[in-house]
Amino acid sequence: AQKVTQTQTSISVMEKTTVTMDCVYETQDSSYFLFWYKQTASGEIVFLIRQDSYKKENATVGHYSLNFQKPKSSIGLIITATQIEDSAVYFCAMREGAYQGGRALIFGTGTTVSVSP
């Protein structure tokens, strides 16, 4: 069975610094997709970035990047040059199966990031 674990419940950082948060996953599939989502204070949940298991390069979108360590079943999220508006809850998620449509995402419990000026 698939499982996603985020052990860091909260992280506090100063503005303009870098924050790294961890995520470890379990899966029996050889092919899978990994995602990070952000939930803002208003409750809105938005997709940030994704990593396909067959890709060796770490995904990067804007000031978000991933640290994909496949042998460790780990997918860390890195936010550089943090801004106040990066304060949010960040969820890691996984979907098994590359070519089977419709599989649901399984989410971790989330990491709360607080960015201070």
Partner 1 sequence: EAAVTQSPRNKVAVTGGKVTLSCNQTNNHNNMYWYRQDTGHGLRLIHYSYGAGSTEKGDIPDGYKASRPSQENFSLILELATPSQTSVYFCASGEGQGVSGNTLYFGEGSRLIVV
User: Where does this chain bind partner 1 (CB under 8 A)?
Assistant: 6, 33, 35, 37, 43-47, 50, 52, 91, 93, 95, 98-99, 101-110
Query: Which of 66, 80, 85 minimizes the C-alpha distance to 22?
Result: 66
- Classify strands 60-61 and 64-69 as parallel, antiparallel or unpaired: antiparallel
Q: How far is the CB of 17 from partner 1 (least distance, A)?
A: 26
Residue 25 or 35: which CB sits closer to partner 1? 35
CB of 92 closer than 8 Å to CB of 20: no
Residue 16 or 55: which CB sits closer to partner 1? 55
